[in-house]
Structures are given as C-alpha cells and as structure tokens.
Amino acid sequence: MTMLENGLELVELEPEQVNLPADLTCWNIRSQAEALKSILS
C-alpha cells in the first residue's frame, strides 16, 4: 500500500512497481469484460 506510507511525503515508485498493478488491473478488466458490459449497460 502506498497511501500515506511516508506521511504526507510523496512516495517514489520504480516503473516496475507502477506497471505491475496497472497490468493486473488491465487483465482483470479484460478478463471480466462481458460481465462489466452487462453491469454498465
């Protein structure tokens, strides 16, 4: 978890630390595309 990890200071993340959760989120959305379409339409 990166929220408030260092109080109010900014947390510096490496590209790999940003890309991994972004890729996981993308995979989750793509793998559940049909369910999401039915929910959002």
**What integer pLDDT is reported at residue 4 of this predicted model?**
67
Q: Could you tell me the pTM of the whole model?
A: 0.59
pLDDT (tens digit, 9 = 90+) per residue, 1-41?
Answer: 566 666 777 777 888 888 999 999 999 999 999 999 999 98
Assigned token pair, 29? 């959305």
Burial 2-41 (b: 16+ CB within 10 A, else e): eeeeeeeeeeeeeeeeeeeeeeeeeeeeeeeeeeeeeeee
**What integer pLDDT is reported at residue 33 of this predicted model?**
95
**What integer pLDDT is reported at residue 25 of this predicted model?**
95
- Helices (H), ranges, 1-41: 15-31, 33-40
Rounded-to-integer distance, Cα 33 and Cα 40, Å: 10
